[in-house]
A and B are shown apart, each in its own frame.
Chain A
Amino acid sequence: MASVSEMYDVTWEEMRDKLRKWREDNHRNSEQIVDVGEELINEHASKLGDDIWIIYEQVMIAALDCSRDDLAWTCLQELKRQFPGSQRVKRLAGMRLEALEKYEDANKQYDSILQDDPTNTAARKRKISILKAQGKSAEAIRELNEYLEQFVGDQGAWHELSELYINEHDYGKAAFCLEELMMTNPHNHLYCEQYAEVKYTQGGLENLELSRKYFAQALKLNNRNMRALFGLYMSASHIAASPKVNATVEKANVKYATWATNQINRAYQLAGRGTKENKCSVKAVEEMLESITMS
């Protein structure tokens, strides 16, 4: 079988840089990481210098994702040898146990880390992941809430909690988590847009109006966010069609919806889609507007 470097005509330095980029972007493209990382480790270990340890860690986690226990084990042994007694390596050993579904052993591993270092956030979060993997959503939510009382600045954790709440259809609490995130990241268009989606899902006129505002805010922060654009259209249309709004509000929302329609059509045209797709989107949007004003 052809090697990665042969197939894609890349040098080992390019492979190493690709791995770094994936690490920085937190990409979960585990199969690719395994392909590139395994070759790098096997063929070019001596050239990597100290980079090799973080690569071992990255490849090990990707290997667990791909059920490559052989590769994960190899990486773990190298890391154990180099960093004996390290909590970080202990956590990786725990993750391997999780991958093998040996949750009791994994928990013991994390508990031993926490005994030595009660502030070890990684171990605490792995324990919560185990609860999630076991389908114990209520417990996972409770533990994560407790964790966040102590580590209030952990954005990844707030986001994880919002997702757990959404999966439980507890949209009010999910909104609260996203509010925390928006407060500390006022320029993040994704949090605005997700908040708007949660509000929209909650339903009711007030929530729809809030959702429209936050879709609009997300667009202000990033005018290429298609979800925000579609969301603005949907929320404005629904508000305009609501029997509870007065003529002024209705008019304003029809204006927003029309503006959004034009932006959506422009976006599709810019994307250079074939006319067939274009017609579809224009038609779909027109039909929607029609059906809403008719009701």
Chain B
Amino acid sequence: MRMSIKLTTQAYCKMLLHAAKYPHCAVNGLLVAEKQKEKKKDSHSTPILCVDCIPLFHGTLALAPMLEVALTLIDTWCKENKYVIAGYYQANERTKDFRPNQVSEKVGARIAENFSEAAMIMVDSTRFTMGCYEPILAIYDHHENKWKCRDCNVDSFDDWCEAQKITSALLEGRSYESLIDFDNHLDDLRNDWTNPEINKSVLHLC
């Protein structure tokens, strides 16, 4: 039985802020979950909680070298923080195009090699509003080498009301202007892709 995935407000929020910062580009990033200590016998009942999101790139997503660098560095960061890379998200360049493509499937598969329950998430930009009235994600699971779409509704969130309220507030406040992705980090190493300021804002609004 597939473990369900849940997103915290911080994870959802940063994903949407990333997409909002670059509306004319494709964007992608990773989702991280806390590392489980041991597989419990009834582990199928505990959903995987994606606690944070690391925005990676904007623009051309189909080149390998910087992606490899990012995956390696973030993997190390995860180990230090007892996280594991649990998912991948992508928003395509064209608003109306929210299907997975070769890039998302490849990266998703790579993540699934290390984390069997990995989720691939596509952002549906056609439903992207400032009010965030509904979740705009499509969640895919890796099943026998194929990606299958699973229902995404308010149950996919740790606390949907909070996620909706805070994401909307940060969008209105244009917090996306200060969101840092890995591309920004490569442009200037002082840019921090863990986005501590935005994390603080999320906590502050909770």
Taking Cβ atoms with an 8 Å cutoff, the residues of A that contact B are 28, 31, 65, 133, 135, 163, 166-167, 169, 196-198, 200-201, 211, 226-227, 230-231, 234-235, 267-268, 270-273, 276-277, 279-281, 283-284, 287-288
Contact = CB atoms under 8 A, between A and B. Distances in A.
A280 B80 contact: yes
B75 A135 contact: no
B76 A283 contact: yes
A271 B65 contact: no
B133 interface: no
Contacts of B72: 284, 287-288
Interface in B68-119: 68-69, 72-73, 75-77, 80, 93-94, 96-97, 102
- A interface SS class: helix
A16 B94 CA distance: 32
Interface of B: 23-24, 59-60, 62-66, 68-69, 72-73, 75-77, 80, 93-94, 96-97, 102, 174, 186-190, 192
User: Which 3 A-B residue pairings sit nearest by Cβ, starting from the closest?
Assistant: A271-B189, A284-B76, A201-B64
Contacts of A196: 65
B64 A273 contact: no
A276 B79 CA distance: 13
20 contacts: A65-B24, A163-B59, A166-B63, A167-B60, A167-B93, A169-B102, A201-B62, A201-B65, A226-B186, A227-B65, A230-B65, A231-B65, A234-B65, A268-B189, A276-B80, A284-B73, A284-B75, A284-B76, A284-B77, A287-B72
Contacts of A135: 94, 96-97
Nearest to A279: B80
Contact of A227 (B59, B60, B66, B94): B66
A90 B23 CA distance: 26
A166 B65 contact: no
A201 B24 contact: no
Given A226-B189, A273-B189, A284-B73, A197 B174 contact: no
B159 to A, nearest CB: 29
Contacts of B93: 167
